[in-house]
């Protein structure tokens, strides 16, 4: 056989079947690369995808959970943590832990790529193994090297913002040291319950006094939100459920609790106004003038009552509404017309009366609506 023919035939076959001989694409789409301090949880990260599909906060919490649950991590070992259908690879190096987040499952080739990146930083920045966890304690040039190393795979995407730097221990003010693990546990619980935790994440890497103050204030505000949610439930069934549902959907930010309390008070006030029978006159001076101006004086059934006493009883009396919408008050066992503009002002009323109590939904009292309008005294402190 002509060797030239055999060579040409082989090239044709190889070209036709070339795609079949290629290895399948590696599983797992790189999203972010992290370097995390095991001591302070401070982390530096860089984006590896032009359009990351993973939520950065979810990854932060997944890494925290993994580090908290693993008391012993050996240098040189690669660990896999699952975030639902997604994956996070982690490899410790002394005081630092490298991590890379992927969309979907990962295969062995991703392990190798991740390990090569870790070895690069270990070789170029050996001081990382003794990193104290402070932002300014990172080896000189490390941040630039981190971005430059992944630049070919992340040219279209800006680096994700770095987490706020914690103050160095020497710069922290005197005072009780916060329980960081307890803070992180609370933060995870609040996050899982649907509350916003942005302020906590910012505070977690600041000085001790700020951490303690921020978490204490946040915890108080969570209690205020819970109390507000309970009071909101008391207003249901009074014809304003749609408005209450909209307000309830906003009760996820403890930092905004004061505004939520204001909106709730306004809503409670509107509900009270709907079920309140309002007197045509509430000014004591105007009422006194109207009584003095009666052409025939007050009814005989009210004779002998001093004017000031009569005025006080009138303004505090039980109220009702007649069939024509006239407002009446109950004085000394009798209903009386209460509108000074009516010719029958302060005259006895004999028709059917619908009282204030009958207008309210079952089990609801006006004085309770007054209490709901004003938050409890413990809830009026500064919301930080």
- Residue 126's pLDDT is 86
Q: Are residues 97 and 223 in the same domain?
A: no
Q: Are residues 38 and 137 in the same domain?
A: yes
Q: Are residues 195 and 157 in the same domain?
A: no
Q: Are residues 41 and 139 in the same domain?
A: yes
According to DSSP, the residues that pair with 90 across neighbouring strands are 79, 99
Find tokens 């035939």 and name the residue.
9
Give the tens place of pLDDT for each residue, 68-77.
887 778 887 8
Q: Are residues 288 and 210 in the same domain?
A: no
Nearest Cα to Cα of residue 246 among 263, 231, 227: 263
Give the tens place of pLDDT for each residue, 93-137.
888 999 999 999 988 888 889 998 998 888 888 888 888 888 778
Q: Is residue 96 part of a domain?
A: yes
Interatomic CA distance for residues 159 and 211, integer angstroms: 27
Q: Are residues 42 and 160 in the same domain?
A: yes
Interatomic CA distance for residues 380 and 376, integer angstroms: 7
pLDDT band at 308 (very low <50, low <70, confident <90, very high): very high
Is it the case that residue 2 has pLDDT exceeding 90?
no
Q: Is residue 378 part of a domain?
A: no
Q: What is the domain extent for residue 316?
A: 284-359
Is it the case that residue 297 has pLDDT exceeding 60?
yes
pLDDT band at 152 (very low <50, low <70, confident <90, very high): low
Nearest Cα to Cα of residue 166 among 142, 197, 135, 198: 135
Q: Is residue 239 part of a domain?
A: yes
Is it the case that residue 17 has pLDDT exceeding 50?
no
Q: Are residues 348 and 307 in the same domain?
A: yes
Q: Is residue 7 part of a domain?
A: no
Q: Are residues 39 and 71 in the same domain?
A: yes
Termini Cα distance of the chain: 89
Q: Is residue 71 part of a domain?
A: yes
- Residue 333's pLDDT is 93
Q: Are residues 158 and 186 in the same domain?
A: no
- Number of structural domains the chain divides into: 3
Q: Are residues 322 and 250 in the same domain?
A: no
Range 284-288 average pLDDT:
94
């Amino acid at each position: 056989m002509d060797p030239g023919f055999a060579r040409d035939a082989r090239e044709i076959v190889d070209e036709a079947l070339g795609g079949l001989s290629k290895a399948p694409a590696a599983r797992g789409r790189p999203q972010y690369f992290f370097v995390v301090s095991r001591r302070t949880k401070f982390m530096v990260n860089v984006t590896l995808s032009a359009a990351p599909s993973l939520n950065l906060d979810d990854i932060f919490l997944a890494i925290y959970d993994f580090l908290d649950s693993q008391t012993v991590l050996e240098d040189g070992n690669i660990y896999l943590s699952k975030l639902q259908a997604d994956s996070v690879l982690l490899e410790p190096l002394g005081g630092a832990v490298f991590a890379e987040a992927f969309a979907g499952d990962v295969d062995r080739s991703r392990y190798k790529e991740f390990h090569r990146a870790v070895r690069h930083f270990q070789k170029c920045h050996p001081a990382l193994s003794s990193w104290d966890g402070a932002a300014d304690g990172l080896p000189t040039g490390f941040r630039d090297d981190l971005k430059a190393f992944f630049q070919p795979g992340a040219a279209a995407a800006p680096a994700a913002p770095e987490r706020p730097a914690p103050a160095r221990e020497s710069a922290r003010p005197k005072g009780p040291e916060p329980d960081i693990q307890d803070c992180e546990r609370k933060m995870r619980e609040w996050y899982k319950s649907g509350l916003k935790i942005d302020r906590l994440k910012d505070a977690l890497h600041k000085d001790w006094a700020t951490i303690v103050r921020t978490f204490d204030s946040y915890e108080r505000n969570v209690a205020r939100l819970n109390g507000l949610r309970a009071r909101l439930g008391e207003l249901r069934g009074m014809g304003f459920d749609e408005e209450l549902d909209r307000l309830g959907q906003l009760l996820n930010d403890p930092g905004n609790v004061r505004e939520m309390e204001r909106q709730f008070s306004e809503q409670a006030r509107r509900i009270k106004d709907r079920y309140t029978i309002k007197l045509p006159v509430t000014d004591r001076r105007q009422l006194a003038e109207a009584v003095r101006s009666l052409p025939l004086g007050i009814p005989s059934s009210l004779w002998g009552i001093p004017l000031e006493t009569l005025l006080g009883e009138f303004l505090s009396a039980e109220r009702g509404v007649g069939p024509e919408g006239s407002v009446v008050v109950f004085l000394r066992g009798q209903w009386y017309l209460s509108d000074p503009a009516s010719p029958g002002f302060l005259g006895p009323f004999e028709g059917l009366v619908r009282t204030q109590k009958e207008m309210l939904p079952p089990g609801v009292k006006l004085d309770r609506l007054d209490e709901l309008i004003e938050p409890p005294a413990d809830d009026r402190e500064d919301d930080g």
